[in-house]
Amino acid sequence: MLKFSRKNVVRSLFFVVAIALISYFIPRESDQDFNYTIGRPWTYPLLTAPFDIPVNLDSASAAKQRDSIDRAFVPVFKRDDGVVRKNLGNLSAALSKTGQVSAELNRSIVEAVEQMYSDGIVDSGTYSDISSGKMKNMRFIVGNVAQLVPTGKYRSVRKAYASIDSMFPMPYARIIIDNVKLSQYLHPNVVRDSIESERLLEQAYLKALAPIGVKQKGERIVDRGEIITPQIYEILKEYERLLQSRNTAVKSSDYRYAGQIAVVVMIILCFYTFLYYFRHRTFDDMRRLFFLVAFVSVFTLVSYLVMVTLPTIGVYVMPFTLLPIMITTFYDSRTAMFAHIVVTLLCAIVVAYPMEFIFLQFIAGLTAIMTLQELSRRSQLVKCAIYVLVAYIATYSALEVVSEGNIQAINWHVFLYFGMNVLFLSFAYIFIFLVEKMFGFTSTVTLVELTDVNTPLMRELSEKCPGTFQHSLQVSNLAAEAAHVIGANVQLVRAGAMYHDIGKIDNPAFFTENQRGENPHKVLPPEVSAKIIIEHVTNGLKRADKAKLPQVIKDFIAQHHGAGKAKYFYAMACNAHPDEEVDPAPYTYPGPNPNTKETSILMMADATEAASRSLTDHSDASISMLVNRIIDSQIADGMLKDSPISFRDVEKIKQCFISRLCTMYHSRVKYPEAVKKG
């Protein structure tokens, strides 16, 4: 059970932020932006109806129906009796004011105008349609019943005036008509009812353009490679319209978003649980935990972006295997595989074929990890990329054949996308370099570079301390072999062993392996000699800082003697003062004791190799006794109490050292000299 602490608060913060970012940027259905054209193939995966979709007429058929309705449609008109009453009243008043003729003539003129209104006066545009034969009937609504009325007797204002003028050919009648300005009392009284006409026209449209079918939920709309017909085009448009309306509508019963968040929480929680139980050192290291969670989260977000931006090919182009390659470089293969599965599951939430996607990425990721145990050479990355490409192609082809039942279903263009995918793996070297600089990690590539004997520090060690240099090489080989036997980081042990004694460069003559002639320690007090010997650790750390060596290499320098004593000089001091208790502090290395398998191996290899040089008897028994005595002494002194190394590992290391040293010191056959003939 996690206790409340600052570290746990930080871990929880990582957890919450990762979930929040991934959940927020998960592509929604509304994020889908399809581009398609009539007559072109559908380039996206199979699209099925997520809900019932009405099937409407295609645009060309709909346009024909509309044109046919427009041609046959009879507009609705109505009579404006108010215009008639108003104009007849005004005309009667105007005629009565003239006083020039009899009341009978005035009544005749009014009756003639009334007759025009009775027949019907329309506007000039309508009259033009009538006279041209376009409008043979008009529709009038009487009660709730529509009636068709012939338009033969309808007149325009001009025609009505001409008809009245022809009824009164007498000169005095024409004078009266002109004086009262008869035309101003003639206005259309049969007018279009726009509201009712639009209503009836819309009803006609709805009836004629009603859906001709329904795409039921789960039914196929269109599949990859299928030509977009006008009918499919209309279905897609209706699908997008309905989808948009569903996403913008407020739906309290829609828990899909909450479900996605729950899935993300469970996946990230599983990742945390794995780290807590199986990679506790990573879980306890905030820097390493932050990188792992951040890298998984950012990689997932980038994957979402690529798949939304390139909906057709994004799932094939995105280099998902880059993640396990990167994590294998800085962590281990099991952590890399688990992180790869986490990202695959998070991305499977939004892909069209989740099961196929998971299977495809699982095989590709497993292939990448198995073919790239340690990235130490560029050729390994090329080899890994080739294997990943083969895995992608083989897995995709198998899935397509299983799904469709024939090899013709394979889309050969996808192979090109896979090629682009593995091409992006070449950027792994760049990302490794950036991560090393940003997080202070050390990759296998860097460790291989550090073991190059031509580096400035190694050249200086070989020139000034040739004996120490040879000792470092022997310890490096011995420790690397032991690391391989117990499954430790071989390359890290090799590099650490190469640099563990670089502090001896400052005083090379005070170390036995570099001495030629007199030993300067003979004239020095034991505490002074011990001080000089012990200082090679602190001097080594100073040189490591100056050379900007990684922290993991500095750990080897600091821990290869642990907090042990310079026993030779401590024993001399004790022998020189038999009646006094000698203070061990001046004879004790600063430490700390080894706290990893790798630094523990180096401490054992360093002491064993140095002691083996003093042997005069190189028999198997003598070497075995030496190895056991040295390592058992270190264990008895508590030098390995902080190390995670097991007793089984220690026994394996002992056997490895014995075998290796016996091989190094085996006796050689003496070559006979040739006898000279007299």
Q: Counting Cβ atoms within 10 Å, is residue 616 exposed (0-12), middle (13-18) or buried (19+)?
A: exposed
88-102, 475-489, 651-665: segment of lowest average pLDDT: 88-102
Helices (H), 549-674: 551-559, 567-576, 597-612, 620-636, 647-664
Residue pair 631/650 in contact (Cβ under 8 Å)? The answer is: yes
Q: What is the pLDDT of residue 411?
A: 80
Q: Rounded to whole angstroms, how far apart are CA atoms 611 and 393?
A: 56
DSSP for 2-13, written as a single string? PPP-HHHHHHHH
Contacts of 540 (CB under 8 A, 6+ apart): 499, 500, 501, 502, 503, 504, 557
DSSP for 569-602, written as a single string? HHHHHHHH-TTS---SGGGB-------SHHHHHH
638 — pLDDT class (breaks 50, 70, 90): very high
Q: What is the pLDDT of residue 62?
A: 80
Q: Which one of 3.90.1150, 1.10.1760, 1.20.58, 2.40.50 gives the CATH number of domain 260-439?
A: 1.10.1760
When the pLDDT of each residue in the chain is averaged and rounded to a whole number, the result is 86
pLDDT over 90 (residue 300): yes
676 — pLDDT class (breaks 50, 70, 90): low
Q: What is the pLDDT of residue 100?
A: 56
253 — pLDDT class (breaks 50, 70, 90): very low
Render pLDDT for 309-345 as a digit per residue (tens, 0 to 9): 887 788 899 999 999 999 998 888 999 999 999 999 9
Q: Rounded to whole angstroms, how far apart are CA atoms 227 and 538?
A: 75
250 — pLDDT class (breaks 50, 70, 90): very low
Number of neighbours of residue 298 by Cβ within 10 angstroms: 13
Q: Per-domain residue ranges for the chain?
A: 32-56+211-248, 58-76+194-210, 78-192, 260-439, 464-664
Greatest mean pLDDT range, 17-21, 129-133, 242-246: 17-21
Q: Rounded to whole angstroms, how far apart are CA atoms 128 and 135?
A: 9
Q: Which helix (H) or strand (E) holds 672?
A: none
Render pLDDT for 22-58 as a digit per residue (tens, 0 to 9): 999 988 654 556 777 888 887 776 778 878 888 887 7
17-21, 475-479, 593-597, 670-674: segment of lowest average pLDDT: 670-674
Q: What is the pLDDT of residue 152?
A: 86
Render pLDDT for 442-451 as a digit per residue (tens, 0 to 9): 888 888 888 8
pLDDT over 50 (residue 119): yes
Q: Rounded to whole angstroms, how far apart are CA atoms 409 and 224?
A: 10
Q: What is the pLDDT of residue 238?
A: 82
Q: Which one of 3.90.105, 1.10.10, 3.40.190, 1.10.3210 gives the CATH number of domain 464-664?
A: 1.10.3210
Structure tokens at 295: 């890298």
Q: Is 51 left (phi over 0), alpha (psi -120 to 50) or beta?
A: beta
Q: What is the mean pLDDT of residues 135-158?
A: 88
Q: Give strand pairing partners of 139.
A: 76, 148
Percentage of the chain lying above the pLDDT 70 cut:
93
C-alpha closest to that of 595 among 630, 645, 638, 546:
645
Q: Rounded to whole angstroms, how far apart are CA atoms 40 and 44?
A: 12
Q: Rounded to whole angstroms, how far apart are CA atoms 639 and 7?
A: 29
Q: Rounded to whole angstroms, how far apart are CA atoms 407 and 160?
A: 81
